[in-house]
Chains A and B, each alone.
Chain A
Amino acid sequence: MIWGLIGTAFERPTTKDFVWSCWFGKSPWCYNFIFFLLTIVFVTFLLLFWLAFRDPKIVPGKFQYVMESGMEFVRQQVVLSMIGPEGAPFFALLATFFFFILLGNLLEVTPFIMFPLNSRLAFPLVLAVISWVTYNTVGIRRHGFLGYMKLVMFPPGAPWWMYVLLAPIEFISVILVRPLTLSVRLFANMVAGHFLLAVFFLGSIALFTGIPYAFGLVSFGMGIVLLVFELFVAVLQAFIFSVLSASYIAGAMAAEH
């Protein structure tokens, strides 16, 4: 009975919302909406850094100041607090992770786009694989292959009989599961955020067109609140991805005990 009062049927968001058809080109290698978003992120990334740092001043202007404080945030909170002063060679990589993921996530709350780049698993997965290759290479270079395996599989401070259990668990969690959790965390956060926003805004469209406007207002207000929340999540996920990469690198660099 209540359904008769609602004008438009509520379109339930599904996983099909994340699949986009080709704009031009053939099916596996074509240019579509996702690739368009990647282009936006790429160009914005280059423009931001080029405009801010092409002619650096001793006394920075407003824009240079904002970008510098962003870089300083990554340097202080990610590199120095997780790896320490010897993490300086990884600053560029971690800052790239942070800003690329941040720009990709912010597309989720950008008007007229409203689609997070990282809600397609390919992007987080490639970033996680880069992180995986980096920390394993660092570990193998620092300790040698056997030394690194010993560091990974035999963490110090456990009784010897525990290593029967501990070694395979540590191996699986460090070598196999880490890239998976790193990518799925980012991917699933963005998918869940997109679903949340879609449910509330599509819901308020469906409710506004019918009789019960009040519910539409509640739904729309909740959508606005979630929009701010997703802004927070976008920054937080970029931060967590770079911090966890830094802590994995720090773990691979750790001195033997």
Chain B
Amino acid sequence: MVGLAIHLAGLLAATLGTPIGKGLVYGLAAIGPGIGIGILMGKSVEAMARQPEAAGIVRGTMFIGIGLIEALALFGFVLSFIIT
């Protein structure tokens, strides 16, 4: 297991600076925010379905949350252009 991890890390290091590495930077950066936005949207829909009268408040807060989470993925996007 550890050997596999070291092997994968070596493969990752070999891709740094190549187009594959740039793609990987963005792809890896998008995993966490993807899960986060999924949970956020799911919970928001749940809340709106349970209490339709609170939909306005939930929607506003949801967009703020999306903005906060999205920044993490976009950092990866910017970073993929910065690394050479």
Q: Which residues of A come within 8 Å of B, CB atoms?
A: 15, 77, 81, 181, 184-185, 187-189, 191-192, 236-237, 239-240, 243-244, 247
- Decide: A77 near B81, CB < 8 A? Known: A189-B70, A240-B67: no
Give the nearest-CB partner of B76 in chain A. Answer: A188
**B10 lies within 8 A of chain A by Cβ:** no
Q: What A residues does B47 contact at CB under 8 A?
A: none
B60 contacts A77, C-beta separation under 8 Å: yes
- Chain B contact residue count (CB 8 A cutoff): 13
For the complex, what is the distance from the CA of A185 to the CA of B66, rounded to whole Å?
11
Q: Would you call B77 and A181 a contact (CB within 8 A)? A: no
- Over the window 63-75 of chain B, the binary record of Cβ atoms lying under 8 Å from chain A Cβ atoms (1 yes, 0 no) is 1101110110011
Determine whether the beta carbon of B63 is less than 8 Å from that of A239.
yes
Interface residues of B in 23-47 (CB under 8 A from A): none
A244 adjacent to B78 (CB under 8 Å) = no
A192 CB, nearest partner CB in chain B, Å: 6
Counted as pairs of residues, one from A and one from B, with CB atoms less than 8 Å apart, the total is 41
The interface residues of chain B lying within 8 Å CB-to-CB of A187 are: 78
List the 5 closest pairs (A to B, CB-CB), nearest first: A188-B74, A240-B67, A185-B71, A181-B71, A188-B78
In contact, A244 and B67 (Cβ under 8 angstroms): yes
Give CA–CA (A247, B63) in the complex, Å: 13
For B68, the chain A residues whose CB sits under 8 A away are 181, 244
Asked if A185 contacts B74 (CB within 8 A), the reply is: yes
